[in-house]
Structure 1
Amino acid sequence: MSKPFKFKEFVVAQDQCAMKIGTDAVLLGAWVQPKERPFNVLDVGAGTGVIALMMAQRFFDADVEAIEIDTAAYEQAMTNFENSPWGDRMFCYHASFQEFFQEMEESYDLIISNPPYFAATQKSPNKQRNMARFEDALPFEHLLYGASKLLSEQGTFALIIPYEQQEQVLLIAKKMYLLPAKITHVKGNEQAPIKRSLIAFQFNVGENELEIDQLIIEKERHNYTDDYIKLVQDFYLKM
């Protein structure tokens, strides 16, 4: 059984979730900087609820909602929300994102997602884990279309994806009138290839407004860079 993961201001139980807390989720939750302070936030594909909890910690006056299709993960996220200091302004919907964006009339100032992204050839026999990890449960086209429907005019949609899928996602987003405002390329260390792309989309981005930078996580094994420590120090206990 997986032990609860203790952050500085909240604890996340993860024993019922196929996908445990990883660096990607914490990176995204710490990295995103909305154009304007959000009053309502939506986390698509909540899993344990860690990103939503990070949003509740960061934006103390925002209502934070999440959506999760897997029953066990949904129940775990709800429990984690209720046990947090911010349970009175957090809620998780048990539905697919496709159902959600077709029925929801509300718009959100910030939409955030650590989406499934593995190719079908990498599937395991564990169906719950597959749903959490594989893109066919929530294709990028559906994710970006739904985000474009639910995002407020001045809102920000942020996600983390494998670097090799960046161009595909940017092309799909452009069709939805979502333009990249910031892209951060993530590397494990100085010598490693780029592993992830953190992307923040908005509707109104000028031609010269796109900011592209790089984040290196480690100098060497378990010796973290100053940039990474600065980014996550409000959350991790040992930073």
Structure 2
Amino acid sequence: MKLKSILNYSQPDFYHFSEDSIALADYLIASDFLFEGASVLDVFSGCGVIGLEVLTKFNKPLQIDLVEIQNEYQEHLEENISLTHSEPFVRYHIKHYRDFAVGLKNDFDFILANPPYFDPSQVRPGKNKNKNICRQFEEGSLSEFIHLFYDRLRENGKMFLVLRERPTLKDYKAIVKKEFGRYSIFEIVRLDVD
């Protein structure tokens, strides 16, 4: 494979990714979990940094799906996919995660997400609607996302999220895998429910 790493990702002016996205990608690459041919889903992908970092640093064939709700990211996704020469391995989808999930079942070995951190009822929205969508759930919630996508994992699949604080979840447990600064990487595990 001849993939190329990107040092300067194409990103919109209204929002830039930060080290937490790179840390999530690096965590998966450094783990013993990732394997050649794995199917990886990056939800809330923005410009595609997590999925593309996993693919280019792992440097073995993977199938990467990037899901982003905002049309404003499309040109950046296309440019970043082109810059990495990863076209055969990456598909992007501009749609709400709920719409993407329709009809999926046991399709992914790994689901990665750097979801919006803020509860819209707890923060004052900013002036830029696009930035607000990146920072807070305007439609849906973290709990809904986890419940919806956990069943999209293949047998022995894993879901990793990067978050500022441990989420309170029903039927699931968030296990801290790595802490750095204000963020932690959590593995989401379903609790045994009778």
TM alignment of 1:137-152, pairs within 5 A: 137-152=139-154
Partners in 1 of 2:41 and 2:185 — Cα distance? 17
TM alignment of 1:68-87, pairs within 5 A: 68-87=68-87
What displacement does 1:183 show? 2.5
Name which structure has the greater RCO, CA cutoff 8 Å, separation 6+: 2
Partner of 1:46: 45
TM-score of the aligned structures, taking structure 1 as reference length: 0.68
TM-score of the aligned structures, taking structure 2 as reference length: 0.83
TM alignment of 1:60-99, pairs within 5 A: 60-99=60-99
Q: Does 1:9 align with 2:5?
A: yes
**Aligned residue pairs, count:** 182
Amino acid at match of 2:187: A
Contact 2:5–2:53 (8 Å) recurs in 1: no
Partner of 1:35: 33
Change in Cα spacing, 1:56 to 1:17, as seen in structure 2 (3 Å) is farther
Structure 2: tracts of 5 or more residues without a match: none
Contact 1:112–1:157 (8 Å) recurs in 2: yes
Amino acid at match of 2:115: P
Alignment partner of 1:124: what SS?
coil
Deviations 1:90-148 (A, max 9, x none): 11011100111123345100110000012322310111111111023341122101221
Change in Cα spacing, 1:179 to 1:50, as seen in structure 2 (3 Å) is same
Partner of 1:227: none
Change in Cα spacing, 1:119 to 1:111, as seen in structure 2 (3 Å) is same
The farther-off stretch of 97-106 and 20-29 is: 97-106
Please give the root-mean-square deviation of Cα atoms over the aligned residues, in Å: 2.3
Structure 1: tracts of 5 or more residues without a match: 1-7, 188-194, 206-239
